[in-house]
Amino acid sequence: MSPPKGRRRWDIWFQEIYLKIERALYVLVAIGLILATLEVIYDGYHALFQVFGYQEFTLGVLRVIDRFLIALMFLEILYTIQIIFGEEYHLQCVEPFLMVAIIALVRRLLILSFEISHTQVSHERLKLYLVEMALVGSLILALVGAVILLRLRRRGKNAP
């Protein structure tokens, strides 16, 4: 049985309002992300120009890499929002989310390796760091494999 005409009209009206609100919220999020990305990129360049001013050069380099990896994460999220607008409210592409996750995991791996090599770490703590590095590394490999599979599948669908 189909719903009565009056109810169906209200459902359509509500869905249209909901989609307009959703689109407006995505615009607000995109504007916020653009501003945050510009700030992080500015901070990254500021850190880059002051990298030689740090007492420990590797700490300065890590700060620069950290800022630019955060900026890349923001840019990937912005790309995801762009896809949402292009797909008429249906997110059919998972790849941008995977790329954000890969960048975040690489960032964590860099921070872990820096902490291990530049701080005094107890034997027990070192074991925990190494286990975390192994888990993060395996997650990176799994996500890269997922991206490769998605691209192969997409290429297979576009083949004649």
Output the tens digit of pLDDT for each of the chain's 160 residues: 566 676 788 888 888 898 889 888 888 988 998 999 999 999 989 988 888 887 878 778 888 888 888 888 888 888 877 776 776 544 456 777 788 889 888 988 888 888 888 778 888 988 988 999 999 999 999 999 988 888 887 777 766 5
The secondary structure of residue 56, as a DSSP letter, is: S
Instruction: Map residue 66 onto helix, strand or coil.
Output: helix
Give the per-residue pLDDT at 134: 92
Give the per-residue pLDDT at 140: 92
Give the per-residue pLDDT at 131: 92
Residue in the block written with tokens 């850190």: 47
Q: Which amino acid is at 63?
A: R
Give the per-residue pLDDT at 89: 45
Cα–Cα nearest to 110, from 142, 68, 146, 151:
68
The secondary structure of residue 119, as a DSSP letter, is: S
Rg (CA), the chain: 22
Judge whether 83 and 132 are in contact, CB under 8 Å.
Answer: no
**How many residues comprise the chain?**
160
Indicate yes or no: pTM above 0.85.
Answer: no
Beta strand segments in 6-88, E = none
Give the per-residue pLDDT at 45: 92
Judge whether 94 and 76 are in contact, CB under 8 Å.
Answer: no
The secondary structure of residue 120, as a DSSP letter, is: -
End-to-end CA distance of the chain: 41
* Cα 83 from chain centroid (whole Å): 14
Q: Give the number of other CB atoms < 10 A from CB of residue 70.
A: 19
Give the per-residue pLDDT at 43: 92
The secondary structure of residue 3, as a DSSP letter, is: P
